[in-house]
């Protein structure tokens, strides 16, 4: 029991948050709850606080739409929130696709596909290209390009509004991550993840490495969906500064030697300075 | 011999960094262009529908597609479950955008129009359904009812006024026109007529229509209506006749046309006269 708690406490917490949010959204549509209305594109919390997807707003801007004040307020709230908790905290704590890709990843390592190809054939920079491309297409076509193909919104709307789930897209992502590319969707392609990576560069809560405790077991790098961000393991006591870290805290909980933990950006910087 | 050897090794020399960079760039641009084309073609296809009925207050379809963030707050606000978000796979419905199908559930024209003020993006525009700063559902324009006289049984001479009774603005949006039934010689036709200046396109009539497939149905206004063109003037209508005031008396002489008379009349002959 203690083992499970030590090794999976954040994972359990993340699932509780992810599923809890889905239940709240679902309840708003099905039973009229007012805790969390709308969906991940734009929500209202407790019937007052707006929160809107800044990436969707960016596409609207590119497409030439007028941005309403209400929307801008929602965008501001979401941006500030993720600046605080870590940009890609969205990916590991909120996004429903995360459960799909995590499942594919677990199955992948159980089945041993990871040992098949050591070197990943694809660049993790692709998401930024796709992000840029989505804005160009939005501008040229005059519609929000990613919003019309986003499997994230398809799945989320499907769960919240019960409208034909968008199973196909979800299955494609699952199979892609399982058979084709490790962390394929979330770690390489997803432009929303790319967007939050850029935002996350500046965010406050960070994972911190304490080199003096590290026994070089590399469990953290194995479990990390964005292992390139952990380049300092065993080398330097610094925070993970890449925005691509999802703040999933898997590394923290698999580490048996207390060589990883959460820290606040300011404090972290002081520590490394000293 | 040694000369030959160096030649071969020269051939197989790894690409220079510069060359690699250029090749990589070219490949990146190529892949981006390819995916850009596929992506925009898909988005173009997916947003092409014109036959969808939008919630009250919806802005012009072009703008709606770039402005609506697909949050479903309007859907949740509607007490009659009129509105739905388009599901994946409904290929003639732009993914995730709200619409309604009046034959299933029409818009009941709530006087407080709960679906409109909740819209965070202005895709549903409050001012377009307000008179003197007060919400006024009677000026909503979701579409226009069209009657197929061949399947409307009232036009056959059978007594039916289901649509007329169902209309929330009966007497204005639908009126009944009395006419003599010359077939029987002793009965009257009571024909429903829709007036485009009052009809909101709520679809209560379509919902109520007793025929197997409704003989009265809602179409988006641009599709339901024709246009006479500015060169036709209603001489009996004072305000329309006013358009003649600034007209010049310049006389046009034209050659004898080689076109058919009907083509000419519908064409450009009268252009520039007024
Ligand atoms: S560094 Fe740690 S918290 Fe960040 S993504 Fe990797 S495992 Fe998760
Ligand atoms: S006016 Fe009322 S019935 Fe019509 S769509 Fe809006 S909330 Fe629904
Ligand atoms: S509330 Fe507005 S933005 Fe949200 S789905 Fe409805 S029309 Fe679109
Ligand atoms: S759609 Fe039908 S019921 Fe609604 S206002 Fe028009 S004529 Fe009346």
Tokens of A117: 């190809």
A33 interfaces chain B, CB cutoff of 8 Å: no
Helix (H) or strand (E) holding A253: helix A250-254
Q: What is the pLDDT of residue B273?
A: 53
Q: What is the pLDDT of residues A241-254, one digit of tens each?
A: 888 999 999 999 88
Q: For residue A225, give the 3-state DSSP assignment.
A: coil
Q: What is the pLDDT of residue B53?
A: 94
Is pTM beyond 0.95? Reply is no
* Backbone angle region of B125, left / alpha / beta, with phi > 0 → left and psi within -120 to 50 → alpha: beta
Tokens of A195: 């967007």
| Rounded distance from Cα B123 to ligand 3 centre (Å) | 6
Instruction: In whole angstroms, give the CA distance from residue A161 to residue A213.
Output: 48
What integer is the mean pLDDT of B42-50? 80
- A residues 5..24 contacting B (CB < 8 A): none
pLDDT confidence tier of residue B73, bands split at 50, 70 and 90:
very high
Q: Are A246 and A91 in contact (CB under 8 A)?
A: yes
Mutate to test the interface with B, among A65, A66, A125 (most CBs of B within 10 A): A65
Tokens of A118: 């050591």
Q: For residue B190, give the 3-state DSSP assignment.
A: strand
Closest-CA distance of chain B to residue A267, Å: 38
Residue A81's CB: how many other CB atoms inside 10 A? 13
Q: Which residue, among B149, B129, B127, B150, has the nearest Cα to B139 in the 3D structure? A: B129
Mutate to test the interface with B, among A34, A39, A125 (most CBs of B within 10 A): A39
Q: What is the pLDDT of residue A57?
A: 93
| Rounded distance from Cα B198 to ligand 3 centre (Å) | 25
Tokens of B164: 């007329």
Burial B65-88 (b: 16+ CB within 10 A, else e): bbbbbbbbbbbbbbeeebbbbbbb
Instruction: In whole angstroms, give the CA distance from residue A56 to residue A38.
Output: 14
Domain B143-225 grouped into CATH 3.30.70.20:
yes
Q: Are B85 and A157 in contact (CB under 8 A)?
A: yes
What residues in A contact B69, CB-CB < 8 Å? 41-42, 52-53, 56-57, 60, 71, 144, 147
What residues in A contact B101, CB-CB < 8 Å? none
pLDDT confidence tier of residue A36, bands split at 50, 70 and 90:
confident
Q: What is the pLDDT of residue B231?
A: 84
Tokens of B144: 């226009």
Q: Are A38 and A44 in contact (CB under 8 A)?
A: yes
What integer is the mean pLDDT of A2-27? 88
Which atom of ligand 3 is the closest one to the Cα of B54? 7
pLDDT confidence tier of residue B86, bands split at 50, 70 and 90:
confident
Q: What is the pLDDT of residue A272?
A: 45
Residue A164 has pLDDT above 80, yes or no: no
Residue B12 has pLDDT above 70, yes or no: no
Domain boundaries in chain B?
27-141, 143-225
Please give the domain boundaries of chain A with CATH numbers for all domains.
2-198 (no CATH), 204-272 (3.30.70)
Specify which of A199-208, B2-11, B17-26, B37-46 reaches the highest per-range mean pLDDT.
A199-208
- The overall average pLDDT reported for chain B is 86
List, chain by chain if needed, residues with CB within 6 Å of any ligand 4 atom.
Answer: B 145, 166-167, 169, 173-174, 194, 199-205, 218
Instruction: In whole angstroms, give the CA distance from residue B251 to residue B271.
Output: 12
Residue A274 has pLDDT above 60, yes or no: no
Instruction: In whole angstroms, give the CA distance from residue A8 to residue A5.
Output: 5
Q: Which residue, among B70, B44, B58, has the nearest Cα to B126 in the 3D structure? A: B58
Sequence-separated contacts (24+) of A219-227 with Cβ below 8 Å:
A219/A254, A219/A255, A219/A256, A220/A250, A220/A251, A220/A254, A220/A255, A220/A259, A220/A260, A221/A251, A222/A254, A223/A250, A223/A251, A223/A254, A224/A250, A224/A251, A225/A105, A225/A183, A225/A186, A225/A187, A225/A250, A226/A124, A226/A183, A226/A187
| Rounded distance from Cα B85 to ligand 4 centre (Å) | 23
- The overall average pLDDT reported for chain A is 87
Q: What is the pLDDT of residue B1?
A: 43
| Rounded distance from Cα B198 to ligand 4 centre (Å) | 8
A135 interfaces chain B, CB cutoff of 8 Å: no
Q: With CB atoms and an 8 Å threshold, state whether A65 touches B67.
A: yes
Q: In this structure, what are the phi and psi dihedrals at residue B226, rounded to the nearest 5 degrees?
A: -90, -170
| β-sheet bridge partners, residue A262 | A207
Q: What is the pLDDT of residues B143-171, one digit of tens each?
A: 999 999 999 999 999 999 999 999 999 88
Helix (H) or strand (E) holding A51: strand A49-52
Give the list of residues 6+ apart from residue A120 with CB closer than 8 angstroms, or none. Answer: A181, A182
Share of chain B above pLDDT 70, in %: 87
Residue that has been written with the tokens 């207050």 in this structure: B57
Tell me, using a 6 A CB cutoff, whether residue B122 lines ligand 3.
Answer: no
pLDDT confidence tier of residue A273, bands split at 50, 70 and 90:
very low
Q: Which residue, among A8, A13, A78, A5, has the nearest Cα to A45 in the 3D structure? A: A78
Q: For residue A202, give the 3-state DSSP assignment.
A: coil
What integer is the mean pLDDT of B60-87? 92
Instruction: In whole angstroms, give the CA distance from residue A217 to residue A234.
Output: 9
Share of chain A above pLDDT 90, in %: 39
Q: Which residue, among A148, A265, A186, A227, has the nearest Cα to B96 in the 3D structure? A: A148
Residue A194 has pLDDT above 90, yes or no: yes
Q: What is the pLDDT of residues B220-270, one digit of tens each?
A: 998 999 998 888 888 888 888 888 787 776 776 767 666 666 666 666 555
Q: Are A260 and A10 in contact (CB under 8 A)?
A: no
Helix (H) or strand (E) holding B216: strand B216-219
Residue B3 has pLDDT above 60, yes or no: no
Instruction: In whole angstroms, give the CA distance from residue A29 to residue B56.
Output: 20
Q: What is the pLDDT of residue B269?
A: 56
Q: Which residue, among B193, B215, B200, B103, has the nearest Cα to B148 in the 3D structure? A: B215
**Stronger pLDDT, A122 or B140, i.e. the higher one:** B140
Instruction: In whole angstroms, give the CA distance from residue A237 to residue B2.
Output: 53
What integer is the mean pLDDT of B61-75? 92
Q: Which residue, among A145, A193, A195, A197, has the nearest Cα to A173 in the 3D structure? A: A193
What integer is the mean pLDDT of B62-90? 90
């Amino acid at each position: 029991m203690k083992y499970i708690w030590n090794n999976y406490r954040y994972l359990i917490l993340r699932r509780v948050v992810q599923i809890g949010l889905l239940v709240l959204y679902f309840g708003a549509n099905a039973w009229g709850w007012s805790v969390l209305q709308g969906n991940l594109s734009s929500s209202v919390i407790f019937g007052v606080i707006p929160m809107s997807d800044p990436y969707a707003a960016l596409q609207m801007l590119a497409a030439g739409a007028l941005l309403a004040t209400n929307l801008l307020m929602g965008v501001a709230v979401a941006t500030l929130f993720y600046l605080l908790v870590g940009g890609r905290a969205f990916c590991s704590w909120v996004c429903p696709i995360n459960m799909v890709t995590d499942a594919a990843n677990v199955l992948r390592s159980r089945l041993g596909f990871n040992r098949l190809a050591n070197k990943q054939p694809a660049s993790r920079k692709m998401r930024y290209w796709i992000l840029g491309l989505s804005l160009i297409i939005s501008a040229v076509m005059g519609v929000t390009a990613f919003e019309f193909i986003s499997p994230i919104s398809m799945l989320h709307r499907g769960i919240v509004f019960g409208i034909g789930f968008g199973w196909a897209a979800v299955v494609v992502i699952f199979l892609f991550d399982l058979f084709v590319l490790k962390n394929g969707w979330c770690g390489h392609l997803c432009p929303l993840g790319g967007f939050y990576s850029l935002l996350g560069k500046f965010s406050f809560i960070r994972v911190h490495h304490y080199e003096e405790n590290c026994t070089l077991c590399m469990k953290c790098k194995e479990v990390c969906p964005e292992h390139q961000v952990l380049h300092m393991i065993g080398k330097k006591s610094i925070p993970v500064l890449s925005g691509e870290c999802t703040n999933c805290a898997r590394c923290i909980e698999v580490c048996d030697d207390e060589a990883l933990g959460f820290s606040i950006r300011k404090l972290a910087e002081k520590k490394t300075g000293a | 011999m040694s000369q030959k050897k160096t030649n071969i090794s020269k051939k197989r020399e790894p690409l220079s960094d510069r060359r690699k960079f250029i090749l990589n760039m070219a490949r990146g641009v190529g892949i981006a262009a390819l995916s850009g084309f596929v992506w925009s073609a898909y988005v173009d296809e997916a947003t092409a529908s014109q036959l969808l009925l939008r919630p009250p207050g919806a802005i012009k379809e072009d703008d709606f597609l770039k402005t609506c963030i697909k949050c479903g707050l309007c859907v949740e606000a509607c007490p009659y479950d009129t509105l739905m978000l388009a599901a994946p796979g409904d290929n003639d419905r732009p993914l995730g955008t709200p619409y309604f199908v009046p034959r299933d559930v029409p818009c009941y024209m709530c006087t407080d129009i709960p679906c409109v003020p909740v819209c965070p993006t202005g895709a549903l525009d409050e001012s377009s359904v307000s008179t003197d700063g007060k919400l006024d559902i009677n000026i909503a324009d979701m579409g226009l009812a069209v009657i197929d006289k061949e399947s409307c049984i009232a036009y056959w001479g059978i007594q039916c006024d289901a649509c007329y009774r169902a209309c929330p603005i009966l007497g204005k949006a639908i009126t009944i026109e009395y006419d003599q039934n010359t077939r029987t010689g002793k009965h009257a036709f009571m024909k429903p007529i829709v007036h485009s200046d009052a009809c909101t396109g709520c679809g209560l009539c379509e919902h109520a229509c007793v025929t197997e497939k409704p003989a009265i149905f809602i179409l988006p206004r641009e599709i339901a209506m024709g246009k006479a063109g500015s060169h036709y003037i209603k001489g009996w209508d004072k305000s329309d006749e006013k358009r003649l005031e600034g007209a010049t008396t310049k006389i046009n002489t034209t050659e004898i046309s080689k076109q058919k008379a009907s083509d000419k009349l519908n064409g450009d002959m009268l252009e520039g006269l007024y």
